[in-house]
Amino acid sequence: MIYGIALGSNLGDRLHHLQEAVRHLLMVHPTLILRAAAPVYETDPVDCPEGSQSFLNTVVEVECTLEPLELLREMRAIEVKLGRPAEHGHHAPRTVDLDMLYAGNTVLEHPALILPHPRMTQRRFVLQPLADIRPALVLPGDERSTAEHLETLQSNEPPLRILQRDWLP
């Protein structure tokens, strides 16, 4: 199954945290392979505590045989391993945040996971990197591609700044 995963970090060595998250992700299961990685963008914090550092955000696409909830468990374990508390406040600063955006054509409504991600087309920091790697992607239940969503996005988010295009070791 093909998965889209958004990554973000706004604590410490943010780029290193993103790199480590992908490194750990690639060790989750022998069938997991990296298919694409978007550039890393720097974004100003929105709705975060005063004095929060800017975020680094990107999207990767992976392929593996794990089911969505199995991969989600592994993603949460990676977050904890890289220093994010298992219990954390909404919009709290974080070493790393991993969000599953989609899992092939799966539509899922589970207490732990909703697929496709219900707010991904409303967030420039997710939509821009996703459109970089999958501009023609049309998600289940949608009629427009990620590029079309990006073109018509109404957002108060500050502009994104490309930090690094080739960021994986």
Residue 169 covered by a domain: no
**Residue 96 belongs to a domain with what CATH number?**
3.30.70.560
Range of the domain at 158: 2-164
Per residue in 105-160, pLDDT tens?
999 999 999 999 999 999 999 999 999 999 999 999 999 999 999 999 998 887 89
Residue 107 covered by a domain: yes
Residue 159 covered by a domain: yes
Residue 118 covered by a domain: yes
Residue 89 covered by a domain: yes
Question: Does 97 qualify as catalytic in the annotation?
Answer: yes
Domain count, the chain: 1
Q: What is the pTM of this model?
A: 0.94
Residue 110 covered by a domain: yes
Residue 155 covered by a domain: yes
Per residue in 156-168, pLDDT tens?
887 899 999 999 9
Angle at 7 between CA 114 and CA 46, to 5 degrees: 85
Question: Does 99 qualify as catalytic in the annotation?
Answer: yes
Q: Tell me how far CA of residue 144 lies from CA of 2, 50, 72, 151, 164, in angstroms.
A: 19, 36, 26, 11, 28
Q: Considering 14, 94, 123, 124, which one is annotated as catalytic? A: 94
Q: Considering 14, 73, 76, 97, which one is annotated as catalytic? A: 97
Question: Does 84 qualify as catalytic in the annotation?
Answer: yes
Residue 20 covered by a domain: yes
Question: Does 161 qualify as catalytic in the annotation?
Answer: no
Q: Considering 23, 35, 99, 144, which one is annotated as catalytic? A: 99
**Distance in angstroms (rounded) separating the CA atoms of residues 76 and 84:** 9
